[in-house]
Amino acid sequence: MDIVSLRRINLRAAIDAAIASGKFSSDADFANHYDISPSQISQLVKGHGSFGEKAARNLEKKIGWETGVLDATPNNNAAEITTENNMNQKKPQHMNFVPPVDLTYNENPRQTPVLSWVQAGDFSYVLSSDLSSAIDWIPYDSRAGSNGFALIVQGTSMEPDFKPDEFIYINPTYQIDELNTGALVVMTCDGDSEATFKKLISEDGNYYLQPLNPNWKPQLIPLDHTCRLVGKVVGKYTRY
């Protein structure tokens, strides 16, 4: 068996064991728990994605496994184990080795901190790991990433898509030059006491902010060198 196939089999066995334990409900649930794209996991186990040395080591590190655990060869002797009912029945090799998965029960599911608009406007606060001043917590969204946070929509400038008191998830790892026109962003500029939420417009090397509400004025807000991206809006959450 080649090393790539072995890695796929070991990963599949580990996920199956974790699901069987009740820790996760699906492959996607497993992936989201470790801040991994569900599509990436799907591609790896189905053979559609590259599973080379770098990918294997990165995945092990992300999940918290020991280096090389995905490359471990099943115990061939264990594969010969026979049952009392059928002495000729062999246990599939990949069932004898399952990489360790943290199955510790967590009665407090992972959540996303909700910050105030003033906190979001303070870039040093966003980059810090001190979440003691979070004003609320909402369900975790993997798209926001491990350093993601949420804000509460204020005003009507982003209606009808975003209404007051809805929550928006922010991924703070993006750079503005990675975003295209139409991206929803949270920005802050020197002199502003709070961050602002708008649609990004990129035109001829210049950036602008635009509200989604066609009746909101002004319709185009130019950004200058004092403005910086707080993060990209990647989703929303409504509490009923």
Quick: pLDDT tens for 19-62. Answer: 887 888 888 888 888 888 888 888 888 887 778 888 888 888 88
Closest-CA residue to 157 (of 79, 215, 230)? 215
- Compute the distance between CA of residue 105 and CA of residue 154 in angstroms, rounded to an integer: 37
Q: What is the pLDDT of residue 86?
A: 37
- Compute the distance between CA of residue 15 and CA of residue 24 in angstroms, rounded to an integer: 9
Q: What is the pLDDT of residue 160?
A: 93
Q: What is the pLDDT of residue 49?
A: 72
Q: Which residue has the higher pLDDT, 133 or 113?
A: 113
Tell whether pTM > 0.85: no
Query: 104 pLDDT band (50/70/90 cuts)?
Result: very low
Q: What are phi and psi of 86, to 5 degrees?
A: -145, 100
- Compute the distance between CA of residue 124 and CA of residue 112 in angstroms, rounded to an integer: 18
Give the model confidence (pLDDT) of 155-178 as tens digits: 999 999 999 999 999 988 888 888
Q: What are phi and psi of 68, to 5 degrees?
A: 95, 0
CB atoms within 10 A of CB 211: 21
- Compute the distance between CA of residue 112 and CA of residue 119 in angstroms, rounded to an integer: 15
Query: 105 pLDDT band (50/70/90 cuts)?
Result: very low
3-state secondary structure of 71: helix
Residue written as token pair 């898509």:
161
Q: Exposed, middle or buried: residue 182 (CB in 10 Å: 0-12, 13-18, 19+)?
A: exposed
3-state secondary structure of 148: coil
- Compute the distance between CA of residue 94 and CA of residue 239 in angstroms, rounded to an integer: 44
